[in-house]
Amino acid sequence: MKVVLFCGGLGTRIREYSESVPKPMIPIGQQPILWHVMQYYSHHGHKDFVLCLGYKANVVKEFFLSHRHEAFADCVVTGGGAHVERLGDQPDDWRVTMIDTGIWRNIGERLWAVRDQVKDEEMFLANYSDGLTDLDLGEVQERFRASGKLACFVAVRPPLTYHLADIAPDGQVQAFRSSDRSDIWINGGYFIFRREIFDYMRDGEELVLEPFARLIRDGQLMAWKHEGFWRSMDTLRDRQVLEDMVERGEMPWLPGDYAGKKQPRLVAAE
């Protein structure tokens, strides 16, 4: 199943990095968060990726064109670097299609721009490329396939709590309490679509607004509630949380043998 990854956003809420690299290329450990997302899908058997590029597209292209997995793996070097022998398990084969979808386009426009890349797929996956999870993707796929619906998104609880203030009209604070997350579900940025999703889209529309409204009207949108690990990287604080997890070797989004070891061998798309 192909995986469409949205990699073209500006990442304005994490500007300290996004001024030099696109948001999906901000590093978590030794690798960009995009790599972690791709490893997650690869572990679940999905290795054919379509990258929707935009802001600083050249940075993403350069990563894949120059990436050498030996730099992060155990290896034997001979001939002054002319020959490199990798030790241990061989890396996964990834097919990476990189499409420049423009700098100022929204997610819906980026998906529309790569529709020809998934036109032969009964179903395909899509992702915002800025969040990590331990979601059992296979189970979600099975339930979605059986549902017969056209679109599914993974719903998660926001990871942060807020202190809510009850304020009277005269400005007097009546109560100050922690927010209740029990009934709050948000879009986690993990999607499954059937190809008919494009029948619900119009030029210039944001994916989760007008197209999703039409899907809801026709009873064609489902949500999968995920209670496990999920974390997006929207701010520097979010990045630091993920960075600290990697430093501790706690990466629930990756199987144990992938953590810091397995690296992809890239196959250029024709």
* pLDDT beyond 80 at 240: yes
pLDDT tens digits, residue range 39-77?
999 999 999 999 999 999 999 999 999 876 655 567 788
Ramachandran area for residue 24 (φ above 0: left; ψ -120 to 50: alpha; else beta): alpha
Question: If you average pLDDT over residues 222-226, what whole number do you get?
Answer: 97
pLDDT tens digits, residue range 245-256?
999 989 999 876
* 155: its two tokens: 């719903």
d(CA 9, CA 24): 8
**Per-residue pLDDT, 120:** 95
CA angle 61, 62, 64 (to 5 degrees): 70
pLDDT tens digits, residue range 190-218?
999 999 999 999 999 999 999 999 999 99
Which pLDDT band, with edges at 50, 70 and 90, does 91 fall under?
low
**Per-residue pLDDT, 260:** 46
**Per-residue pLDDT, 165:** 79
pLDDT tens digits, residue range 97-146?
999 999 889 999 999 999 999 999 999 999 999 999 999 999 999 999 99
Domains and CATH numbers, the chain: 2-268 (3.90.550.10)
**Per-residue pLDDT, 270:** 38
Of 103-107, 156-160, 174-178, which range is least confident? 174-178
